[in-house]
Amino acid sequence: MSASVDVAVVGGGVAGLCCAALFARAGARVSVVEPELDPSAPSGPIDLRTLAIIPAAARVLGAAGAWALLDPARIQPFEAMEVWDAGSRGRLEFTPGPQHDGPLGWIVESRQLVAALSRVLEASTASVLADRVEDIEGQAPVNLRLAGGGRLAARLVVAADGRGSPLRALLGIPWHETPYGARALIANVTTGIPHGRVARQRFLASGPLAFLPLPDPHACSVVWSCEESLAARLATLDDAAFRQALGEAFEHRLGAIETSSARACFPLARARAERFAQGAVALVGDAAHLVHPLAGQGLNLGLLDVAALLECLGPPVREGWPRASALGRYARWRRSAALDMTLVTDGLERLFARTDSPLRWLRGCGLDLANRSGPLKRALVAHAMGEAGDVPRLARPQAASPPAA
């Protein structure tokens, strides 16, 4: 089988599906190639893989038509963030400023986002091919060879095939990855004290430990980033010992940990592709960059890539679309945004890992100062909500009324 489209999106994770939905809405003929798509909406207990979605990224999902399809009963907005340092007792708390009329963000299951975007695509002219890209050749159009024997010709190919991006490797784009020597252990827990719609993070010398609020007022999604040996030990503890270790590491801030789910671990690294575009191929999401999850920004960054790509390229109405200059602008813009985010997350990771006394003291003073300083706090809130720097139009506050979910 051979088909021809304007846009072929390789990878049907959240970034790829959102990109496909936005291009389809812009009038493009779109195909998504994804071997493992599960479009069913989650039911039962909240899934382990949850994501903090910031307002800027929620607007992009809103523009794609997916945000309104999320089940509000399975989403938890958070209205405050509390961060504190085990080494210095420094503490920082922030809430949205008076100019914001929504929360700081939402905790959403990754599967729910995939299900909502799949529904948007089902109702559009886009097609989803349950296949895998095996080879890529040509320039205008680009030809994709699929594992199932089919071929797909496209004017633009979007590589949204994740951290190990086979497409990036096929194109020979260098990938600079530095492992943190750490893993993120995730679990869902219930606590004696309700979370009060606050996202909390305690910085330990071994890494940050986050409790993110879930729809049950006593339930949290836990992300514990720590050295590999500790993560391996935590992953194999029996439930009672795990709950005890977790409660102690979190200073029992939400009381006793009453129940805990299965656990999963993810190896952590920072990485960036050397080029975010090559020929008529653009990289988005984890195929382009990887950041530490301590700021919960990986997918948010990916969704802003998608908005920036749409903005730079526009709809495929003219001959010669996509223009090389527009792809170049996209690549420079988003590579610089990914670098900025890596500097922030990397800097925080290193700063809080240091155990020497003068630095711990300075760190505590810095957190307390930021907590008291209005302008500093406003800048932090703008960053946390994705409203600082060169924000793509679709993600700006004036682009849409704040999502209601």
Ligand X SMILES: Cc1cc2nc3c(=O)[nH]c(=O)nc-3n(C[C@H](O)[C@H](O)[C@H](O)COP(=O)(O)OP(=O)(O)OC[C@H]3O[C@@H](n4cnc5c(N)ncnc54)[C@H](O)[C@@H]3O)c2cc1C
Residue among 85 and 305 whose Cβ is closer to ligand X? 305
Q: Which is nearer to ligand X, 88 or 156 (CB)?
A: 156
How many angstroms separate the CA atoms of 316 and 177, rounded?
Answer: 34
Q: Which is nearer to ligand X, 155 or 168 (CB)?
A: 168
Closest approach of ligand X to the CB of residue 18, in Å: 8
DSSP symbols for 87-141: TT--EEEE---TT--S-SEEEEEHHHHHHHHHHHHHTSS-EEE---EEEEE-SSS
Q: Which is nearer to ligand X, 12 or 392 (CB)?
A: 12
Do residues 352 and 360 make contact, with C-beta atoms less than 8 angstroms apart?
Answer: no
Q: Measured from the CB of residue 36, what is the shortest distance to ligand X in angstroms?
A: 4
SS3 217: coil
Reported as type and span, the H/E element at residue 325 is helix 324-353
Instruction: Kindly state the smallest distance separating residue 318's Cβ from ligand X, in Å.
Output: 28
330 with 276: CB under 8 angstroms?
Answer: yes
- Closer to ligand X by CB, 162 or 208: give it: 162
CB of 160 to ligand X, least distance (A): 5
**Residue 96 or residue 293: which is nearer to ligand X going by CB?**
293
Cβ 324 vs Cβ 274: under 8 Å: no
- Give the nearest distance from C-beta 157 to ligand X in angstroms: 11
Lookup: tokens for 81: 């963030």
Measured distance CA(145)–CA(151) in Å, rounded: 5
Run of H or E including 145: strand 142-146
> Given phi > 0 = left and psi -120 to 50 = alpha, else beta, which region is 10?
beta
**Closer residue to ligand X (CB): 14 or 273:** 14
Distance of closest approach, residue 238 Cβ to ligand X, in angstroms = 22
Structure tokens at 18: 């959102």
The residues of the shown chain that bind ligand X, judged by CB under 6 A, are 10-16, 33-36, 51-52, 132-133, 160-163, 166, 184, 186, 223, 266, 285-286, 293, 296-300, 302
Terminal-residue alpha carbon distance, the chain: 41
* Closest to ligand X by CB, 28 or 107: 107
3-state SS class at 178:
strand
Beta pairing class for 133-137 and 142-146: antiparallel
Min separation Cβ 214 and ligand X, Å: 13
Integer angstrom CA distances of residue 85 from 49, 175, 197, 361: 26, 33, 20, 10
Considering the complex, state which of residue 280 and residue 338 has its C-beta at the smaller distance from ligand X. 338
AA identity, residue 318: R
Residues 158 and 331: their CA atoms lie apart, in Å, by 12
